[in-house]
């Protein structure tokens, strides 16, 4: 599904120039009113560059180097092994999990950080099948899912004796039947930027007696998520996109409090044991969210993430959502006004209720166009075959950046037939 970007009616060059000046004024006014404007200073950004790839890899915060040098130099270098207790390393996965929980509507004690999103998808799906009533032997997966979720779901289905069925996210609630154990759905489609209706899909899955596992990779940190209020069973997400934890920073797993006693991990490592240092031959699970842990936590990247989350101090997710929609609206408007007609088409829904925090434009020669954009300091990415992706991260992206990106895109597309 795609929707044409609004184009001005006629190409009167004088009107175009007026538009251009008016857009500068609008960008300046929007930036001047932005309640999040000062948060940009918390990030270490490249001067002169417009970074629109925070939905793939968020930039570092200004404080992360200092924190990491303390972790390496003092906590590891001087305190050594004593830091597992003395510096709070051992409990960091739950403590940092609670900080992420605050951003996704989860009360404390339900989120644990560790491993990759891929691994957490595996834990969540297999545990969900193990919790499902007898006779339920089907897993549903979002047909447009980020590929790793689909690969893992296929293996989880094979291992648990389930069949796997791919269904478009919007219809996944209606597709669930009496054999469905669980459905795995992406909250925001990574390619198109489409936002799915988490409360409605979750309610439909529950009505069919199935569990809901949500992948929040493209929504957490970009828009409000209400895991507790919406009755989500399990959720996973990564921390290196909108949460700026750094390349490969560990992912998180949410297990609804009421389900934790039945959460039977397919990866019961010693870190989730009730008495890890008892070193007992037999496994006995700990209580609570830490049942989702496996092995020794990734302390360096975990503590980098902890520091990165300070960028959220005093930030309301509601303000982030409002700015994200205003930024993507403004970018679409600038593209409509500046880019030669017919050269791009938005695959991101125009309806706010269906939009995540990115704009995906279908464009011929998208790979080359993105290379040209990056060469001119506008960093987005390209998804094959023909999609230009621009992530709008409200903590550090300005309206002037959106306008600049549209202008450079228009220049590039004017220069090519
Ligand atoms: C980014 C992303 C992932 C990444 O998984 P990793 O295990 O961190 O590589 C998974 N799922 C979705 C929906 C994503 O957007």
| 334 has pLDDT over 50 | yes
Whether 278 has a pLDDT exceeding 70, the answer reads yes
Q: Among 8-22, 31-45, 264-278, name the one with the lowest average pLDDT.
A: 8-22
CA-CA distance, 216 to 211, in Å (whole number)?
A: 16
| CB contact at 8 A, 256 and 110 | yes
pLDDT of 8 higher than 80: no
For the cut 90, the answer to whether the pLDDT of residue 12 exceeds it is no
Residue 56, ligand 1, Cβ within 6 A: no
212 SS3 class: strand
From 118, 169, 245, give the residue whose CB has the most ligand 1 atoms within 8 Å, as the site to mutate.
118
Q: Which of 380, 406, 359 is nearest to 19 (CA)?
A: 406
For residues 347-354, give the mean pLDDT.
97
Task: Tell me the best of 114, 144, 148 to mutate to test the pocket of ligand 1, counting ligand atoms within 8 Å of each CB and taking the most.
Answer: 148
pLDDT at 19: 79
pLDDT of residue 9: 45
Distance of CA 329 to the CA centre of its chain: 20
d(CA 228, CA 258): 11
Specify the pLDDT at position 1.
Answer: 44
Q: Does the C-beta of 190 come closer than 6 Å to ligand 1? A: yes
* C-beta separation of 1 from 189 below 8 A: no
- pLDDT tier, 3 (very low <50, low <70, confident <90, very high otherwise): low
Q: Tell me the pLDDT of the chain averaged across its residues.
A: 95
State the distance from the centre of ligand 1 to the C-alpha of 238, rounded, in angstroms: 6
d(CA 183, CA 3): 28
Ligand 1: atom nearest CA of 186 is 13
Is pLDDT at 29 greater than 70 in this prediction? yes
pLDDT at 21 over 90: no
On the question of pLDDT at 140 being above 70, the answer is yes
The structure's pTM equals 0.95
pLDDT for 6 equals 53
396 among known catalytic residues = no
Q: Residues near 80 by Cβ (< 8 Å), separated by ≥ 6?
A: none
Taking only the tens place, the pLDDT of each residue in 386-413 is 999 999 999 999 999 999 999 999 999 9
Q: Containing H/E element for 16?
A: helix 13-33
Q: Using one digit for the tens of pLDDT, what is the confidence trace for 144-174? A: 999 999 999 999 999 999 999 999 999 999 9
For atom 10 of ligand 1, which residue has the closest CA? 117
Kindly give the distance from the C-alpha atom of residue 14 to the centroid of ligand 1, in angstroms, as a whole number. Answer: 46
For range 54-61, the mean pLDDT: 98
Write down the H helix ranges in 41-186.
Answer: 64-70, 83-86, 92-103, 117-131, 147-160, 172-175
- Average confidence (pLDDT) over 72-82: 98
- Is 389 assigned a catalytic role? yes
Structure token pair of residue 58: 């968020």
Q: Is the pLDDT of residue 346 over 50?
A: yes
Question: pLDDT tens digits for 90-101?
Answer: 999 999 999 999
Dump pLDDT digits (tens) for 241-262: 999 999 999 999 999 999 999 9
Q: Which of 42, 136, 191, 241 is flagged as catalytic?
A: 241
Residue 198 or 16, more confident? 198
**Residue 215 alpha carbon, nearest atom of ligand 1:** 13
CA-based nearest residue to 99, from 272, 304, 305: 305
Helix (H, G, I), strand (E, B) or coil at 111: strand
Nearest-atom index, ligand 1, CA of 118: 7
Task: Among 238, 357, 383, say which to mutate for ligand 1: greatest number of ligand atoms within 8 Å of CB.
Answer: 238
- Classify residue 385 by burial, with Cβ atoms within 10 Å: 0-12, 13-18, 19+: exposed
What is the distance between the alpha carbons of residues 290 and 50, in angstroms, rounded to a whole number?
39
> Is the C-beta atom of 189 inside 6 A of ligand 1?
no
Q: Which of 51, 146, 330, 399 is catalytic?
A: 146
Question: Which residue is catalytic, options 215, 233, 381, 401?
Answer: 215
Ligand 1 touching residue 217 (CB < 6 A): yes
Task: Assess whether 240 carries a catalytic annotation.
Answer: yes
136: left (phi over 0), alpha (psi -120 to 50) or beta: beta
Q: Tell me: pLDDT of 415 over 90.
A: no
| 417, pLDDT greater than 90 | no
In the chain, % of residues over pLDDT 90: 94
Q: Is the dihedral of CA 122, 126, 127, 132 positive or negative?
A: positive
The token duo for 316 is 């309301």
pLDDT in tens, 283-308: 999 999 999 999 999 999 999 999 99
- Residue 10 is predicted with a pLDDT of 43
Task: Kindly list the strands in the beta sheet with 252-255, ordered across the sheet, starting from the edge strand earlier in the chain.
Answer: 111-113, 252-255, 234-237, 211-215, 180-186, 138-142, 163-167
């Amino acid at each position: 599904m795609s929707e044409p970007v609004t184009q001005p009616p006629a190409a009167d060059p004088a009107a175009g120039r007026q538009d251009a000046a008016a857009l500068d004024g609008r960008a300046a006014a929007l930036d001047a009113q932005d309640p999040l404007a000062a948060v940009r200073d918390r990030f270490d950004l490249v001067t002169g560059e417009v970074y629109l790839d925070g939905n793939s890899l968020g930039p570092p915060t200004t404080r992360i180097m200092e924190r990491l040098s303390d972790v390496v130099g003092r906590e590891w270098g001087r305190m050594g092994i004593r830091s597992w207790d003395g510096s709070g390393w051992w409990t960091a996965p739950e403590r940092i999990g609670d900080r992420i929980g605050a951003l996704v509507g989860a009360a404390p004690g339900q989120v644990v950080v560790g491993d990759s999103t891929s691994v957490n998808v595996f834990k969540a799906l297999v545990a969900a099948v193990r919790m499902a009533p007898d006779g339920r032997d089907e897993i549903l997966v979002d047909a447009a899912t980020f590929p790793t979720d689909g690969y893992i779901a296929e293996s989880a289905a094979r291992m648990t004796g389930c069949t796997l069925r791919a269904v478009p996210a919007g219809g996944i609630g209606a597709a669930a039947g009496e054999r469905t154990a669980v459905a795995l759905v992406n909250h925001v489609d990574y390619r198109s930027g489409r936002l799915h209706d988490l409360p409605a899909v979750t309610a439909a899955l529950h009505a069919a007696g199935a569990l809901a596992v949500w992948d929040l990779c493209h929504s957490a940190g970009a828009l409000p998520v209400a895991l507790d209020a919406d009755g989500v069973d399990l959720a996973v997400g990564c921390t290196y996109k909108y949460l700026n934890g750094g390349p490969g920073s560990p992912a998180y797993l949410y297990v609804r409090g009421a389900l934790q006693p039945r959460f039977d991990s397919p990866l019961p490592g010693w870190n989730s044991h009730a008495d890890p240092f008892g070193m007992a031959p037999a496994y006995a699970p700990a209580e609570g969210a830490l049942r989702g842990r496996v092995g020794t936590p990734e302390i360096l990247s975990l503590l980098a993430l902890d520091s990165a989350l300070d960028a959220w101090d005093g930030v309301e997710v509601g303000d982030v959502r409002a700015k994200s929609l205003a930024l993507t609206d403004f970018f679409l408007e600038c593209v409509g006004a500046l880019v030669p007609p017919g050269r791009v088409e938005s695959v991101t829904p125009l309806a706010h209720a269906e939009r995540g925090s990115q704009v995906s434009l279908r464009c011929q020669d998208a790979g080359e166009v993105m290379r040209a954009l990056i060469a001119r300091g506008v960093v987005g990415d390209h998804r094959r075959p023909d999609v230009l992706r621009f992530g709008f991260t409200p903590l550090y992206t300005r309206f002037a950046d959106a306008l600049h990106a549209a202008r450079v895109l228009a220049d590039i597309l004017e220069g090519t037939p």
